[in-house]
Chains A and B, each alone.
Chain A
Amino acid sequence: MSKIKAENVNVYYGSKQALFDVSIDIAEKEVTALIGPSGCGKSTFLRCLNRMNDVIEICRVEGSIKMDNLELNSRKLDVVRLRENVGMVFQKPNPFPKTIYENVAYGPTIHGIAQSKEEMDQIVETSLKKAALWNEVKDRLDEIATGLSGGQQQRLCIARAISVSPEVILMDEPCSALDPIATAQIEELIDDLKKEVTIVIVTHSMSQAARVSQKTGFFHLGKLIEFGPTDKIFKNPDNQQTQDYITGRFG
């Protein structure tokens, strides 16, 4: 079942066009990986899905992106509500320089999700458990989050993202700043999360895309070259460019 449906999305930075007629169907409760060489537009596309491109003044998005029939690329859309439903995890772990507890509780606080202190404690605990971080931090929730290791910080950011129970989580190269062990933990986590959430992940690592995703899209020079089941993309792609990229001939 389709969760997000993008049609003919064009993105411009000033006069420079970054995405050309991208159309893609992202299925619900699946992991969709976006791969491609640097600067191919995969992050730009990802940021269209929670309107983070709004922050960049010169950025202009055309086309239609629908999530459950709600048009995302519309002036009338309330981005605050959208981002409550579409969480994001960034390339570099970016916890707030506050306590671990405050980091996870921030989203529920501003969206008024928890009614009481007990409820908030419960949300923080479940989120941290889902992010496989609870056991490591349960005794030091009031410590400053920036003191955690890189992998822990990234899992905290995931816990922060799922604290408001979003329907979609966008991940922008979430493991590129982490070591292999932390990466393995995050991948395991993604596997668990997809039971409840739709995940779109941008990654540079083709093996990661192959491991965690069900669908893969290959971007090149701002165009979506090929999109399909991960197995097919990696074993038997239709397009020569995809074939070349996957076999490491360029990129």
Chain B
Amino acid sequence: MNSFKKNLLKKRYNAERRFQWYGKIAIGLALSFLAVFMFQIFSKGYSAFQKTWIVTEVHYDKELLLIDAESPSKDDLENADYYDVAYKAMTSLDPGLPEEEDRQLIQMVSYKYEAEVKDLLLKNPDYLGKIVPIKLTASDDVDQVHKGNYPRDIPEENRRVNDYQLQIYDMLNERGDILLEFNISFFTSPDSREAELAGIASSFMGTVFSILVCLAFSFPVAVLAAIYLEEFAPKNKFTDFIEVNINNLAAVPSIVFGLLGLGVLLAVFNLPRSTPLVGGITLSLMTLPTIIIAARASLKAVPPSIREAALAMGASNMQTTMHHTVPLSMPGTLSGTIIGLAQALGETAPLILIGMVAFVNTIPGTPVDPAASLPVQIYIWSESAERGFVEKVSACIMVLLAFLILMNLAAQIVRHKFEKKWS
């Protein structure tokens, strides 16, 4: 081998090695971005899955409750006055505090503490007249102090927790009367202006309903359109025109669909504002082209020999399509659908336009109840000033990601099942 040939060979090998390195670097970069992103979210968000409680004692004093009856009924307990009992439960933490300073103690728990005091007695009527320990939801500021997210060394006037409250917190913490438990209410409560009470139940259900509505509208329409265009429609200028338009539709910014939803669904058809029904239909406009394109591609990918085999057996076009082509294309169509839905899942802009950004503090039971959605909830919380919402934003992102992963998993399982059946 002469030196020229040797050089050429070496160059070729080097080029390949270089190329492989470029690839590795690209993958490494992508993975490290992902790792940083995940670390950011998890390190900020994991604490939102825990909730801080303040333990104190409550005396269910009949006199303060203004209960006269000897053996009070459920209604009596329901209608009793809990203001003083709850108030005393908190102020008893520091009996020496002058009355005009009480608010400092009350501010350490959520504004719903009175309701919590009431709920405990309603659940345990025999507590009446007794002194019992009670867990009260700590305010978001105490919560953040306890989780270590709140700097204690800045000047008092810049802090939302003052020196006195910190002193009480330290005392309670030493006694073991500050509890950190799994935050069930994050999953069961609707949104709230108070960070310690806010949950994702409303937006989660809103997202579930929106996706279901979106699926119900877009999947049948898209699949029928794809089958017709691919298997039956004549190939002419008009169908070419439709194809170009569908491809263009897939690239239209989502906010435009939001405007369409606002202008047509809300203004013309008068559908209820802020509801998953309208959100789902708006999102389905977005997912339609995605599903159509995926379904057509997977119909195209079915080998022509299968069609020929069916036609040669005397199957009609319709039978060939329904018995052979469509079932074989289903795995591809389904994964296209999931990709479309996953896009819809993370969509924020169109939902804001049709009013799903409204503050909703009820949990929707049907697609026509007002609701938020997870990405919009993230947007709303990230606008809030309180420190307590910072971790909620990350936690909400984690829930959204988990939702996405679950959907992909479901898609994989469905795909796998279909593929097993057909090949």
Interchain CB contact under 8 A, A107 and B311: no
Within 8 A of A (CB), among B311-347: 311-316, 319, 323-324, 328
Across-interface contacts of A96 in B (CB, < 8 A): 306, 309-310, 324
Interchain CB contact under 8 A, B422 and A164: no
Interchain CB contact under 8 A, B423 and A144: yes
Partner pick for A97 among B235, B308, B315, B328, CB 8 A cutoff: B328
| Residue A90 CB within 8 A of the other chain | yes
- Interface range on chain B: under 10, 10 to 19, 20 to 34, or 35 or more? 20 to 34
| Residue B124 CB within 8 A of the other chain | no
Q: Knowing A80-B314, A110-B314, A111-B314, say if A98 contacts B309 (CB, 8 Å).
A: no
Across-interface contacts of B303 in A (CB, < 8 A): 94
| Residue B248 CB within 8 A of the other chain | no
Partner pick for A157 among B309, B314, B328, CB 8 A cutoff: B309
Interface size on A, residues (CB 8 A): 29
Q: Knowing A97-B328, A98-B422, A144-B423, say if A90 contacts B316 (CB, 8 Å).
A: no
Across-interface contacts of A106 in B (CB, < 8 A): 310, 313, 315, 323
| Residue B71 CB within 8 A of the other chain | no
| Residue B305 CB within 8 A of the other chain | yes
Q: Knowing A80-B316, A83-B314, A110-B315, say if A57 contacts B235 (CB, 8 Å).
A: yes
Name B's interface SS.
helix
| Residue A92 CB within 8 A of the other chain | yes
Interchain CB contact under 8 A, A87 and B306: no
Tell me, in angstroms, the Cα distance from A57 to B233 when the chains sit together: 12
Interchain CB contact under 8 A, A52 and B310: no
Across-interface contacts of B324 in A (CB, < 8 A): 96
Interchain CB contact under 8 A, A146 and B423: yes
- CB of B113 to closest CB in A, whole Å: 65
0/1 per residue, A53-91, Cβ < 8 Å to B? 001010000000000000000000001111110011010
- The residue on B at minimum CB distance from A79 is B314
| Residue A29 CB within 8 A of the other chain | no
- CB of A90 to closest CB in B, whole Å: 6
Tell me, in angstroms, the Cα distance from A97 to B305 when the chains sit together: 11
- CB of A177 to closest CB in B, whole Å: 11
| Residue A152 CB within 8 A of the other chain | no
| Residue A50 CB within 8 A of the other chain | yes
Tell me, in angstroms, the Cα distance from A178 to B49 when the chains sit together: 64
Tell me, in angstroms, the Cα distance from A137 to B310 when the chains sit together: 22
- The residue on A at minimum CB distance from B420 is A144
| Residue A160 CB within 8 A of the other chain | yes
| Residue A95 CB within 8 A of the other chain | yes
0/1 per residue, B223-258, Cβ < 8 Å to A? 000000000001100000000000000000000000
Q: Knowing A80-B314, A81-B314, A97-B328, say if A90 contacts B319 (CB, 8 Å).
A: no
- The residue on A at minimum CB distance from B312 is A88
Tell me, in angstroms, the Cα distance from A80 to B319 when the chains sit together: 11
Interchain CB contact under 8 A, A94 and B423: no
Across-interface contacts of A146 in B (CB, < 8 A): 423
Interchain CB contact under 8 A, A97 and B422: yes
- The residue on A at minimum CB distance from B422 is A97
Interchain CB contact under 8 A, A164 and B313: yes
Tell me, in angstroms, the Cα distance from A88 to B324 when the chains sit together: 18
Most chain A CB neighbours (cut-off 10 Å) among B308, B311, B313: B313
Interchain CB contact under 8 A, B314 and A97: no
Across-interface contacts of B235 in A (CB, < 8 A): 57
Interchain CB contact under 8 A, A52 and B308: yes
- CB of A39 to closest CB in B, whole Å: 19
- CB of B239 to closest CB in A, whole Å: 12
Interchain CB contact under 8 A, B314 and A164: yes
Across-interface contacts of A92 in B (CB, < 8 A): 305
Across-interface contacts of B323 in A (CB, < 8 A): 106, 110
- CB of B53 to closest CB in A, whole Å: 59
Within 8 A of B (CB), among A123-174: 144, 146, 157, 160-161, 164
Tell me, in angstroms, the Cα distance from A146 to B310 when the chains sit together: 15
Interchain CB contact under 8 A, A90 and B422: no
Partner pick for A90 among B308, B314, B328, CB 8 A cutoff: B308
Across-interface contacts of B305 in A (CB, < 8 A): 90, 92, 94
Interchain CB contact under 8 A, A90 and B311: no
0/1 per residue, B252-273, Cβ < 8 Å to A? 0000000000000000000000
Within 8 A of A (CB), among B408-423: 422-423
Tell me, in angstroms, the Cα distance from A138 to B249 when the chains sit together: 52
0/1 per residue, A93-110, Cβ < 8 Å to B? 011111000000011001
Across-interface contacts of B314 in A (CB, < 8 A): 79-84, 107, 110-111, 164
Tell me, in angstroms, the Cα distance from A2 to B308 when the chains sit together: 27
Tell me, in angstroms, the Cα distance from A97 to B328 when the chains sit together: 8
- The residue on B at minimum CB distance from A102 is B323
Mark B residues whose CB is within 8 Å of A.
234-235, 303, 305-316, 319, 323-324, 328, 422-423
The 4 A-B residue pairs with the shortest CB-CB distance in the complex, in nearest-first order: A83-B314, A94-B305, A88-B312, A84-B314
- Could you give 7 example pairs across A and B, Cβ below 8 Å? A52-B311, A80-B314, A90-B312, A96-B306, A96-B310, A97-B422, A110-B315
